[in-house]
Chain A
Amino acid sequence: MVSSVANLLAVLAFAPFLLGVINRTKAVVAGRKGPPAFQVYYDLVKLFGKGFVASRTTTWVFLAGPVLSVAAPLVALILLPLAGLPATLSFPGDMLLFVGVFALARFFVAAAAMDTGSPFEGMGAAREVTFSALVEPALLFGMLALTRLSGSLSLTGMLDVRAAGAWQKASASVVLILASWFIVLLAENARVPFDDPNTHLELTMIHEAMVLDHSGPAFGFVLYGAALKLTVFAALLVTLLIPAGPGGGVLDLLLFAGGLAGVGVVVGLVESSMARLRLVRVPQLLVTATLLAGFAVVLLVR
């Protein structure tokens, strides 16, 4: 328990670095000098030191968005086994809470965007809730497949692929889940090919558009929340890919951090090598992710 909490704190501190890794990767591939890997930390410090300008049209809901965008991934991290150690809090059915808190955050982030009365933010909010509706079933199908493999109803149990012998018994299903959840990671974290985090152009706007009016510390919350959320989804993939354990050592933590950074590099490479999809194509790719995970279940239940 104590070491689980220690892992949790370490991941909380590590999260902004992951955004830095993606940005470094993109800079290297593009041949730019690029911002330093620790840039996000500097940004956070700067934002928290600033004043906060709010729109006159907004209410308390506008502030609930940034709060929930940090609280949700925080709860998710508490439910997630990190670096080979069991989760800080684990109970049968915790995967449903995992999905639920992100939905709660989405509700308030989108509502906060609508609270400004800005058409750009409305556009972002509408797209966010639309695409996320198609993402959630993919997550659930993957979790169902893992439950079938491990016989466990909690994230700690089902992500312990080493104990379940998942790679030996059903490597096809695990690969399908990994592919599906990588698409989920890109969609949920507003990365290319779903969204372009670099621009605020109307045509590409999803996540960044929703937070246009948040400034100073509020935007700091949003930025840190985004880093945490990316870390959570990367941790899901890393735990499946690197069946480390039993965990607890510094080596495990380093291996885990390396894995997370690896996911960051892959995301950076995807971002450098392809363009954003046209909006009408986005639902198709998301349904593909659901189907991939659905296949993983069918393979195991036949």
Chain B
Amino acid sequence: MTPTSLELLAIASALVAFSGLPGLLTPAGSRAAQRVASWCHVAGCALGVSAAALALAGSTAAATFPWALPGGALTFALDRLSAFFLVPVFVVAGLGSVYGEGYWAEAHHPGNGRKLRFFYGLATAGLALVMVAGDAWSFLTGWEIVSLAAFFLVTTDQDDAAALRAGWIYFVAAHAATLILFAMFALLRDATGGWLLAPSAALGSSVLLTPILLLALAGFGLKAGVIPLHVWIPDAHAAAPSHVSALLSGVVLKMGIYGLVRLFSMLPAYPTWLGLALLALGVTSGVLGVVMALAQHDLKRLLAYHSIENIGIILIGLGVGALGMAQGRLDWAVLGFAGGLLHVWNHAAFKALLFHAAGAVIHATGTREIDALGGLMRRMRFTGAAFLLGAVAISGLPPLNGFVSEWLISLASFRALTSGNGGVGMLGAAAAAPALALIGALAVACFVKATSAVFLGTPRGPHATRDVADASSSMRFTMGALALSCAALGLWPNGATAVSRRAADALLGARAGTAPSADLGALGTVPLFVLAVIAATAVAGMALMRPVALTTTWDCGYASGSPRIQYTASSFAQMLVRLFRWAVLPDEHRPRLDGAFPAAGPRFESHAPDPALDRVLLPLFARGRSLLGLLHVIQAGRIQTYLLYIVVTLVVLLAWSWSW
């Protein structure tokens, strides 16, 4: 008997879930334990990818297990939509495991390596559970497993105050999301009459539809990092080990997107306001995410803000698709949905690549501070080239993968204008393409800044000049694999769009089969052609541009250039940050300079604290805490007092029930 795709997935999940368990029984610093954990995890991930591939090819499966708790039964379903989201889960997690061999080697981290690997496996399995959950209970179970495991992953370095702070912020945000989802699923049960996550005709006519969708946008948006709910993202990504950051950004955020998409697949019809709301949230997250990224000095925080930007792009795609559905126009709905979903894959590929490369830089130099680096391309050739490729891909530039998904979404925007009578839906869809252009151009600015400040020019300080070596072979392997997938998804776009079309069918409802897909294949071999033109020009260039002499940078004849006169990351971004200072709210400390020869000492400083977290939420919570301090009168921590409260409450309740 051959196992079904779901059985295969169950084996894979069990393998990854318990991959870290044997390590817990071994002494700290054991290299063999790390090997065992990594291999178990990688094997499980390989199995998981093959299960997902089977399901994508058409071998979907479902299973129900009776259970005594509320809900009655646990249901698991592996359909194409689930499989589509499972692929990045297992690819990014599996490669992260290999990366961890070099990046978080047990020999260097005997104190927390075992914990890291245990929770890493658990988080991977939890993610798989979320993606195959067929009912609300299994969904929430998986969701909680990931939330808790990710907390321990973020606080891997338990002695680091910044990591603990990031962990707690994440913990609060994740559980706020879970609470909202409890309310959402409760209403959903009322509207559909069951806990199953299956298409429901009753949902469309329910008065609860609007509150359900609003709660879903809030709960899933909090997980996905939609502005202004993105508060946990920058700190958590910066504090976690780099392969965990890659998992958080590439996959954990997508749990929120998956939740939304799964809910949409249950809708019989899309309200117009939903499309507009998704579009508005997407454009806000997209533009402000990249603008806040521009203001960052910390390489990993910068990448974290770009996750917010890319979640925005995904939401723009889903929003355009939803608007198309609301207008009954499947021709652009399919483009929007397929583009948004494909961006889930693409973002997982290039963001994991960028975090792995950033991790290699941090590993080699010991700092995340962009302005302390520079000139690393000479000593970290492989890492530099990988980061550059990731930067081009994330900026949505041809011929790499970011371009393909953004091209699909923009094309939906154009397709919307080809016929029909206008209206707010069309106008909204039309705004998507220029918004994406703005986001893409700002991303170019940000990644020219990040790439050049870290890898180009001359080293700015001791971090970049000490004996920096390129990444270890396991780290180079994962970067190479991710870079190849970015290139493959970009250069053979028709394969990628065909797969995302299969997943998008779940969102197109009953008429999925009638949606035209000619536009989806329009890119064809064009990216290869573009690459060929560039390669031909490069060959001509290499023949002509042969340096006859090497000298110092000419720089208008300025003879004594030093690394300190270079443009820094902050000076590079200054104009754009100024233009958007109403959103970024940067802190600038500008000392007063007096006289013709001002004394040395005062320094210019600029910081970019998070506008939502540091300027609104934390001050608010600080206020709230002093107010709640008043409750200490009745909340003293003595167990007898609490028992007394319980007795009093019971007596009052009993008296109340007797009085009826």
Q: What is the interface of chain A, defined by CB distance below 8 A to chain B?
A: 48, 51-59, 61, 63-64, 66-68, 70-71, 74-75, 78, 89, 91-97, 99-101, 103-104, 106-107, 110-111, 114-123, 125-127, 129-130, 132-137, 139-141, 143-144, 147-148, 151-153, 200, 212-213, 216-218, 220-221, 283, 290, 294, 297-298, 300-302
Contact = CB atoms under 8 A, between A and B. Distances in A.
A213 B538 contact: no
B544 interface: yes
Interface string B512-535: 000000110011101001100110
Interface string B533-549: 11011100110111111
Nearest to B403: A100
A301 B427 contact: yes
B413 A144 contact: yes
Interface of A: prevailing SS: helix
Interface residues of B, number: 86
A96 B407 contact: yes
Contacts of B554: 55, 118, 212-213
B430 A144 contact: yes
Contacts of B551: 53-56
Contacts of A302: 422
Contact of B441 (A64, A103, A298, A300): A103
Given A74-B537, A96-B411, A107-B392, A147 B547 contact: no
Nearest to A118: B555
B444 A283 contact: no
A133 B553 contact: no
25 contacts: A52-B547, A53-B547, A55-B553, A56-B550, A56-B553, A67-B534, A71-B537, A92-B519, A100-B398, A100-B407, A103-B396, A104-B392, A116-B555, A130-B445, A132-B441, A133-B445, A134-B441, A140-B434, A144-B433, A151-B418, A212-B555, A220-B544, A221-B541, A221-B545, A298-B427
B579 interface: yes
B544 A217 contact: yes
Contacts of B451: 111
Contacts of B378: 59
Contacts of B457: 57, 114-117
Contacts of B541: 63, 66-67, 70, 217-218, 221
B61 interface: no
What 7 A-B pairs are tightest by C-beta distance, nearest first? A122-B567, A114-B452, A51-B548, A117-B457, A133-B441, A129-B445, A217-B544
Nearest to B549: A53
Given A91-B524, A122-B571, A148-B417, A103 B440 contact: yes
A119 B567 contact: yes
A67 B426 contact: no
B438 A114 contact: no
Contacts of B75: none
Interface in B430-450: 430, 433-435, 437-438, 440-442, 444-445, 447-448
A104 B398 contact: yes
* Among A51, A57, A64, A67: residue with most chain B CB under 10 A: A57
Nearest to A119: B565
Given A100-B398, A126-B575, A216-B548, 4 more contacts: A54-B550, A68-B537, A119-B555, A290-B434
Interface of B: 374-375, 377-378, 384, 388, 391-392, 395-398, 403, 406-407, 410-411, 413-415, 417-419, 422, 426-427, 430, 433-435, 437-438, 440-442, 444-445, 447-448, 451-453, 456-458, 518-519, 522-524, 526, 529-530, 533-534, 536-538, 541-542, 544-556, 558, 561, 563, 565-567, 571-576, 579
Contacts of B448: 107, 110-111, 114, 125, 129
A171 B414 CA distance: 21
A55 B552 contact: yes
Given A61-B388, A103-B441, A153 B415 contact: yes
B397 A107 contact: yes
Contacts of A53: 547-551
Contacts of B433: 96, 140, 143-144
B585 to A, nearest CB: 19
A100 B395 CA distance: 10
Contacts of A55: 550-554
Contacts of A95: 414
Contacts of A298: 427
A301 B556 contact: no
Given A52-B547, A91-B523, A101-B398, A297 B437 contact: no
A287 B159 CA distance: 49
Contacts of B445: 129-130, 133
A158 to B, nearest CB: 9
A78 B415 CA distance: 23
A151 B415 CA distance: 8
A64 B435 CA distance: 28
